[in-house]
Amino acid sequence: MESVRKLVRGQWDAWLDRRIPARSRVTLTQKRIFILPTWMGMGYLLTTFLLFVAGVNYDNSMILNFSFFLGSLFVVSILQTFSNVSGMVISAGHTEPAFCGSEAKFVIHLEKSRKKEHHSIFCSWCGYQSKAYNLIQEQQVALVTLLPTQQRGRYRPGRFKLHSIYPFGLCQAWTWVDLDMFALVYPRPIECELNTTSRSDGEEGSHVVMEGQDDFAGLRAFNPSDSLKTVDWKAFARRNVLYTKQFQGYQAKSAWLRWNEIAVGDVERRLSGLCYWVLQFSKTNEPYGLELPGVTINPGVGKQHEENCLTALAEYRHG
């Protein structure tokens, strides 16, 4: 039984992959939209049928016409439900990484490609049910989903379902879209002991940390993102051009986080331990380096450095 289900599932997925291949930007056309009556739609059809029977049996032509009208309305509702989602463009937005066990954020952009409204669009993705999104006045909305993570690495949740029952709730139009999105899942940080020898390792003062605050290192062209405190105002007065002063610092000590120096056993536990220490060092703003089998990241500080280290941990493949 299980194998049959798997086979069917596999066939279905393969068919879907052919029909709606993974792309980062998908426009909904009739090829990609499925549509079926909802349970309410079934109830509505039953009502229509009952009224038809009543009209026939009471020989009442106006009740008959009433049921014809309800039937026509149902057909129109199929077209309108379809029309409500068609022409919508779905594109991949950014993703935010998560520590294993917490929720990763996936942003999907919905945008109009035609001069019409899209109402009450829902997204369900790996058990997550989004709130309703409307594209009425707005040209584009960002649909935010939070998906729980279970495994370190690149998390690819695969196809998600966008669906809507607007305007009548009698039919549901939906599509399965794969935007080829993934989010990084860092190891779950778990506190563990770190071999202290690693902390003294490394040559003292030999690492130059850019963007430090100790010594003046030179000038570079101003970027709008630079703090005004770092602008060389004297130079501005002289030459009417903005320059940013750059400083560098010398790190007295830098720590190394090494694969072998985590006390505990299996791969994931070690990565979790390293992750914990990366976060610890980042919190205290101490410079640290990371060494995994096959990967070495030189000591540094800052958000970018932390992210590099965490990415390395997330994408690490043992053996």
Partner 1 sequence: MADSRHPPVFPMPRTAFVLLMVSVTLAVLPHVQRVPPWLLAVFGIVLVWRIQVFRQRLRFPPKWARLFMVCGGVLGVVYYHGTIFGPDAGVALLISAYLFKQLEMYTRRDAFLIIILSFFVLATEFLFSTSLFTSLYVFVVLVVITAALIALNMTDTSIALWRPMRAAFVTVLQAVPLLLVFFFLFPRIGPIWDLGMKSTIARTGLSDRMTPGDVADLSQSAKLAFRIEFEGEIPAPRDRYWRALIFDRFDGKTWSAQGDPQSIPFSPNRLNVNGEALRYRVLLEPTGNNWLPAMPWSQLSGVKHRTSNGLVHYAINVVDSAISYQVETFPDYQYETEGMPRDMWGVYTTLPPLGNARTYALAKDLYRRTGRNPERMTASILRWFNEERFIYTLKPPKLGSDSMDDFLFGTRKGFCAHYAGAFVFMMRAAGIPARMIGGYQGGEAHPIGKYLLVHQYDAHAWAEYWVNGKGWVRVDPTAAIAPERIEMGSLRDSLDELSLLDSPFSKMGLRNLPFMSELRLMIDYVDYLWFKNVVSFDSGVQHKLLQRILGEVTPQRIAMLLGVCGGVVVLGLGLWMVLSQRRLLELDLADKLYLRFQRKLSQAGLQRETGEGVMSFSLRVQQRFPDQSDTINKISCLYSNIKYSNRSEKRDTDKKLTSESDSIAALNQAIKNLKL
CA distance 193 to 59: 87
Q: Could you tell me which stretch among 19-27, 115-123, 234-242, 278-286 binds partner 1 (CB under 8 A)?
A: 115-123
Contact between 60 and partner 1 per CB under 8 A: yes
Nearer to partner 1 among residue 22 and residue 141 (C-beta): 141
Nearer to partner 1 among residue 170 and residue 278 (C-beta): 170
Give the strands of the sheet with 295-300, arranged side by side. Answer: 255-258, 288-292, 295-300
Q: Find the angle CA(131)-CA(132)-CA(138) to the nearest 5 degrees.
A: 125
- Which residue's entry shows tokens 């426009």? 27
CA distances from 307 to 231, 255, 300, 315 (A): 28, 17, 11, 12
Give the contacts of 40 (CB within 8 A, at least 6 positions apart): 165, 169, 170
Contact between 296 and partner 1 per CB under 8 A: no
Contact between 93 and partner 1 per CB under 8 A: no
Written as six digits, the tokens of 35 are 């549509």
Contact assessment for residue 150 and residue 78, using Cβ atoms and an 8 Å cutoff: no
Contact assessment for residue 176 and residue 168, using Cβ atoms and an 8 Å cutoff: no
Q: Which of 16, 35, 70, 219 binds partner 1 (CB under 8 A)?
A: 70
**Three-state secondary-structure class, residue 189:** coil
Q: Could you tell me which stretch among 164-172, 177-185, 209-217, 289-297 binds partner 1 (CB under 8 A)?
A: 164-172
Q: Could you tell me which stretch among 7-15, 78-86, 155-163, 278-286 binds partner 1 (CB under 8 A)?
A: 78-86
Q: Could you tell me which stretch among 50-58, 204-212, 242-250, 278-286 binds partner 1 (CB under 8 A)?
A: 50-58
Contact between 76 and partner 1 per CB under 8 A: yes
Q: Which of 104, 165, 194, 313 binds partner 1 (CB under 8 A)?
A: 165
Q: Could you tell me which stretch among 3-11, 40-48, 220-228, 302-310 binds partner 1 (CB under 8 A)?
A: 40-48
Give the contacts of 314 (CB within 8 A, at least 6 positions apart): 97, 152, 153, 154, 184, 185, 186, 187
Nearest to 309 by CA among 187, 137, 129: 187
Nearer to partner 1 among residue 7 and residue 76 (C-beta): 76
Contact between 56 and partner 1 per CB under 8 A: yes
Nearer to partner 1 among residue 35 and residue 217 (C-beta): 35
Nearer to partner 1 among residue 114 and residue 239 (C-beta): 114
CA distance 251 to 195: 21
Please work out the total of residues on this chain that contact partner 1, with binding judged by CB under 8 A.
50
Q: Where along the sequence are the contacts to partner 1 (CB under 8 A)? A: 40, 43-44, 47, 51, 53-54, 56-73, 75-77, 79-80, 83, 86-87, 112-116, 119-120, 131-132, 134, 136, 139, 165-169
